[in-house]
Amino acid sequence: MYQTRMSVAHDTDIEKEQATRQDEAIEPRWKVIAHDDPVTTMEFVVRIMVQVFKKPHVFAEAIMWQVHNEGLSVVDTLPKTEAERRVKIATMAARLEGFPFRFTLEPAD
């Protein structure tokens, strides 16, 4: 009987994950934009791109350089709830380290 309960719970988890993916697939997508400032270190920006936005290191560095040279960069395009979640995590990490690193969101159209 225990084995059956585990199987049912596992199936339910899979169904929830599939439903979440379907919801994200139809949810409007938003651009996450990182903004330059004179305080946040380049190393920190690269670390956030890798750890929070799951970018390969080479892409994280490219984003960092674009933010540095052009004043901003589109980091990713995600469903709004996921974009908000990642921006919140990145912003909290920045504040904990004393950086004013800032993000904005805008519709991807």
Q: Sign of the CA dihedral 49, 61, 95, 35? A: negative
pLDDT for the residue 61: 98
pLDDT for the residue 33: 98
Average pLDDT of span 76-97 = 97
Average pLDDT of span 41-62 = 98
Predicted TM-score of the model (pTM): 0.76
Q: Is the pLDDT of residue 23 over 70?
A: no
> Going from the N-terminus, what domains does the chain have, and what CATH number goes with each?
28-107 (3.30.1390.10)
Q: Out of 14-28, 46-60, 80-94, which region has the weakest mean confidence (pLDDT)?
A: 14-28
Residues 40/97, Cβ–Cβ less than 8 Å: no
Q: pLDDT class for 26, splitting at 50, 70, 90?
A: confident
User: 49-53 contacts: CB < 8 A, separation 24 or more?
Assistant: 49/75, 52/86, 52/89, 52/90, 52/93, 53/86, 53/90
